[in-house]
Amino acid sequence: MGEFMLGVVSSLLATALTVLGGWACSLHARRWPAVLLSRITGLGVLRALPRQQLAGKEMAADLARARWVRVLAGRGNELTRDSFAPVWEAAESVQVLLPDTMTGQDSWLAQRASDIRRVDPGFSPGLLADQVRVNAAYVSEIRRHGQPVSLRFYNLPNLHRLVITDDVAYLTLYRQTEHGRNSPCIVAHRPGALYDHALFLFTTTWEHSRPAD
């Protein structure tokens, strides 16, 4: 009987340790140290994701309930996807910043395209500028249908993507030779120092950008 009970206890203990080990190694558990440090320092970080594309579902949910949205993109492909559909229909105000394609071959946009070509041979010269123009035309068409959307163009280093709502900010830090979707993404809530900084970056760029018209 004693050996049987010892076997049962050993089995339960092994199972518990396996579950605990799996939990400790899970992405959810690994977030807690960052969240705790964020609360102590006031940074306001909710999550730090290794790749921007992992934030897709969560960002779509945040966009669906946003009162206003601010977007600074290096290309703007996300603007044409289903995740932004609720934004065009329900948001009270949307401001979009895209790279200026009228700045010539020495522009920051051209530099970003050159960096991407190092790892993507299909990224021909001029392709990034063409994609930006297509996405800008998409946003302009939405605006012509009476939606509260403003579009401007910036000529600054193409270093990050910002998607900001009245509640949360998604800050993607572009790697020099990676597509944005493969670059790390930080999610920060309001109030918090990182959220405020993301909004400051957007506002400052907006004030020094060129109107679409």
pLDDT for the residue numbered 3: 52
Q: What is the pLDDT of residue 122?
A: 79
Q: 44, 194 in Cβ contact below 8 A?
A: yes
Beta strands in the chain (DSSP E): 45-49, 68-72, 93-99, 149-154, 160-165, 168-173, 185-189, 210-211
Instruction: Looking at the structure, give the CATH architecture of the domain made up of residues 42-211.
Output: 2-Layer Sandwich (3.30)
Pairing mode of beta strands 68-72, 93-99: parallel
* Structure tokens, 41: 């320092």
What b-and-e string marks burial along 125-150, b requiring 16 or more CB atoms within 10 Å of the CB?
eeebbebbeebbebbeebbeeeeebb
Backbone angles phi, psi at 172, to 5 degrees: -95, 130
What's the pLDDT score for residue 180? 67
Domain spans of the chain? 1-30, 42-211
**Which phi-psi region, left, alpha or beta, contains residue 23 (left: φ > 0; alpha: ψ -120 to 50)?**
alpha
Phi, psi of 96 (to 5 degrees): -125, 130
pLDDT at 20: 40
- pLDDT at position 29 is 47
Q: Which residues, given as ranges, of the chain have pLDDT below 70?
A: 1-43, 180
CA distance 24 to 158: 37
Give the residue among 99, 110, 107 at the shortest CA–CA distance from 72: 99
pLDDT tens, residue by residue, 60-119: 999 999 999 999 999 999 999 999 999 999 999 999 999 999 877 778 888 888 888 887
Question: Would you say how long the chain is, in residues?
Answer: 213
Give residue 177's pLDDT. Answer: 72
0.95 surpassed by pTM:
no
Residue 143 CA to residue 198 CA, distance in Å, equals: 25
Calculate the alpha carbon distances from 9 to 3, 4, 13, 152 in Å. Answer: 10, 9, 6, 66
